[in-house]
Chains A and B, each alone.
Chain A
């Protein structure tokens, strides 16, 4: 990649004399980071915001003012006030605390399922593209089948089959992410495997596995990162939608989608803060994930820049 060429002058300035070895990992990462901030300031802000949301989720126990599960029948359906910043729900549970704990659940589910699904897509795409032949043909037909379901419908089918638990939500979302990432990685592998250095590796007697791991996979890492970050927003949407439909992670675990969907089954006059705040939490998180993903794509793949 051109990244290494661009960072090498800094190496020379630093006085390191290493003509054959590439730049150290640290300088390379720093260079990438600097380029990221320069290319896309909005993306950098989004990255910081995303880290903050992750931190809030991880430290939910410390940050949340109340217990998200504790009912308080003396204070049900309270409007937002100094005591309950975002109000309380029909059981008197603090909405802010539930949103903070919901961040933990949503991000945990979304990140795990994206990592799981896209790793599978990564490996499968490389194998399908590099090995070709009958394996590739069968894989492509299977992917056709998986792509014949709208993503959320496939996830709903899997939820119906596996039953509602946190692990099954992760699996359901992960599986519905696999086909597209496999396709993208495969198409990259198809062009990479024709390159001269891959052929050279084959000629020197490297095994298929060796070529795939050593020479093909590294070329797919950058696109993989772009897919991962683009899928994060989709996974957050899928988790919230499943929870909203009441077939995601079961009660009492607080999730944004279920907070929103819960309003439908209880009130005649829905309290606005029970709709607006969980919904905003979903929207803002998806937005930061999307902005970060776009910026990452612009940095890693300048050809795609709008």
Chain B
């Protein structure tokens, strides 16, 4: 088991280096570095002169060769120095640490919610195949898989504003400071994300349950007189769970991406909103480090999923 985890960790290292290289190439090497896109425009009424641009370029280290720029960036990141925001001068590490808890909380709540909704619906609709319940479950899946989370979010905000005189909270409130106001801020986005994911989970759970129900040991269990409920809990649940776990890890990617749009719909000041702001303002250091943060989180989560998969299923460990 330890060996398996170690091997997975070793594979993750070159992947992470590749991630930083890809971000670097996208942000600095592709035509149009951050300053050249600003050059032509006037910012307010001020037009940057050629000397100002040159000095800004030098102060940001953009005049140095690419490999020096890359190594400096890596050196800084490894020391926990994420640079400062180009427009606000705020240290980015502060910004990321302030906003990350909200985004991570929303993502985790969405996962939990999707399991609560998706698993029972999927398993029951498989157990009562072609019943009315199955029929409704499939409509639910079809509808919520197509419904974009940000549209769902906008609808929720619309209803909240029109009928409940609700206002989106604009400042960050952490769960450990004020649970009620924190939940008011996070429950909407996590529901909007979780319903779509829940539909996906229900679909996977349904097909994997159907598969397991056809196994020989289920027939054996039934022939020895176990009732349907017992079979579902004792024999089917654990085996049908495997694909759901794998898929949840993959889905977290969609969740992290989708949370960017949902945060905008609800006006939640999380990482996603910061990323959108950074892209519209061309705050390249912020873009670079935020995307890196998302990449690191995603790689780590997939690692955790692989490990937990190996914990549930011994075949993976020794295979």
Q: Are A247 and B291 in contact (CB under 8 A)?
A: no
Q: Are A161 and B151 in contact (CB under 8 A)?
A: no
User: Of the candidates B16, B37, B154, B279, which one forms a contact with A275 in the assembled complex, judged by CB atoms under 8 Å apart?
Assistant: B154
CA distance A287 to B21 in the complex (A): 37
- Which residues of B are at the interface with A, using a C-beta cutoff of 8 A? 14-16, 18-19, 21-23, 26-27, 30, 32, 37, 142-143, 145-148, 150-151, 154-155, 157-158, 161-162, 206-207, 210, 252-258, 260-261, 264-265, 267, 275-276, 278-280, 282, 284, 287, 291, 294-295, 298-299
Say yes or no for A33: interface residue by CB 8 A criterion.
Answer: no
Q: Are B146 and A150 in contact (CB under 8 A)?
A: no
Closest Cβ neighbor of B294 among chain A residues: A153
What string of 1s and 0s marks CB contacts (under 8 Å) between A260-286 and chain B?
110110000110100110010011101
Closest Cβ neighbor of B159 among chain A residues: A272
Q: Are A145 and B253 in contact (CB under 8 A)?
A: no
Also in contact, A245 and B26, with CB within 8 A (given A153-B294, A287-B146): no
What string of 1s and 0s marks CB contacts (under 8 Å) between A194-229 and chain B?
000000000000000000000000000000000000
The 4 closest A-B pairs by CB, nearest first: A152-B257, A145-B18, A287-B146, A279-B151
What string of 1s and 0s marks CB contacts (under 8 Å) between A226-269 and chain B?
00000001000100110011110000000000001101100001
Most chain B CB inside 10 Å of its own CB: which residue of A142, A150, A156, A162: A150
Q: Are A148 and B146 in contact (CB under 8 A)?
A: no
Say yes or no for A141: interface residue by CB 8 A criterion.
Answer: yes
CA distance A241 to B196 in the complex (A): 15
- Which residues of A are at the interface with B, using a C-beta cutoff of 8 A? 141-142, 144-146, 148-153, 156-163, 233, 237, 240-241, 244-247, 260-261, 263-264, 269-270, 272, 275-276, 279, 282-284, 286-287, 290-291, 306
Set of chain A residues within 8 Å of B254, measured between Cβ atoms: 150-152
B288 to chain A, nearest CB (A): 9
Set of chain B residues within 8 Å of A153, measured between Cβ atoms: 256-257, 260, 275, 291, 294-295
A221 to chain B, nearest CB (A): 25
Also in contact, A272 and B148, with CB within 8 A (given A148-B15, A150-B298, A245-B276): no
Q: Are B15 and A145 in contact (CB under 8 A)?
A: yes
CA distance A142 to B37 in the complex (A): 29
Contact sample, A vs B, 19 pairs, CB 8 Å cutoff: A149-B298, A150-B256, A150-B257, A153-B295, A156-B279, A160-B278, A161-B26, A233-B146, A237-B148, A240-B148, A247-B280, A260-B154, A264-B264, A270-B157, A276-B155, A283-B151, A286-B148, A290-B145, A291-B142
Q: Are B148 and A158 in contact (CB under 8 A)?
A: no
Also in contact, A263 and B154, with CB within 8 A (given A150-B298, A161-B26, A163-B37): yes
Set of chain B residues within 8 Å of A151, measured between Cβ atoms: 253-254, 257
Also in contact, A160 and B146, with CB within 8 A (given A150-B298, A151-B254, A153-B256): no
Set of chain B residues within 8 Å of A284, measured between Cβ atoms: 146
CA distance A142 to B22 in the complex (A): 10
Also in contact, A247 and B148, with CB within 8 A (given A148-B15, A157-B287): no
CA distance A159 to B26 in the complex (A): 10
